[in-house]
Amino acid sequence: MSKDKILFVCVHNSARSQMAEALLKKMAGDRFEAESAGLEPG
């Protein structure tokens, strides 16, 4: 069974998308593959 891939994006990738990625990995890492990205370096 393959995992669904989730991409969290925020403007600066300074914290919000990284926190969302970590939270999903902790809560459902066995079901989802999570990554985070930003539109501008922050």
Q: What is the DSSP string of 16-32?
A: HHHHHHHHHHHHHTTTE
1 pLDDT above the threshold of 90: no
Give pLDDT, residue 39: 87
CA atoms within 13 A on the CB side of 29: 7
pTM for the whole structure: 0.82
Residue 33 in any domain: the answer is yes
Residue 42 in any domain: the answer is no
Residue 27 in any domain: the answer is yes
Domain count, the chain: 1
Centre a 10 Å sphere on the Cβ of residue 34 and count the other Cβ atoms it contains.
20
Q: How far is CA 38 from CA 4, 23, 27, in A?
A: 20, 17, 22
Give pLDDT, residue 32: 97
Residue 15 in any domain: the answer is yes
Give pLDDT, residue 30: 96
Q: What is the pLDDT of residues 7-39, one digit of tens each?
A: 999 888 778 999 999 999 999 999 999 999 988
| Domain span including residue 19 | 4-37
